[in-house]
Amino acid sequence: MKKVLKVDGMSCMHCVMSVKKSVGKLDGIKNIDVDLKAKTVSVEWDEALTPLKNIESAITNAGYQVIAKNNEEPI
């Protein structure tokens, strides 16, 4: 599964690394792409191993805010 999350609060490479590190710890993560300018985190992963809410929690725990998921209204 691939999802693009709109994430608020990321401002530099440190933020990119923090998000990649915390999401990367989860099971079944295949790819993480962070676009600082667009404020998006694209995650490709095996949803049988990790539900989307765990990815959102990992981003939140790193100190950032998930404000929207693709094809959905902002939370």
Q: Please report, as ranges, the residues that interact with Cu ion according to CB under 5 A.
A: 11-12, 14-15
Nearer to Cu ion, 51 or 63 (CB): 63
Whole-angstrom distance, CA of residue 36 vs CA of residue 58: 18
Nearest to Cu ion of 4, 15 (CB atom): 15
Of the pair 52, 60, the CB lying nearest Cu ion is at 60
Torsion of CA 51, 3, 38, 35, to 10 degrees: 80
Residue 68 to residue 17: CA distance in whole angstroms: 20
Q: What is the nearest approach in angstroms of Cu ion to the Cβ of residue 24?
A: 17
Q: Which amino acid is at 29?
A: I
Rounded to the nearest whole angstrom, what is the least distance from the CB of residue 62 to Cu ion in the complex?
10
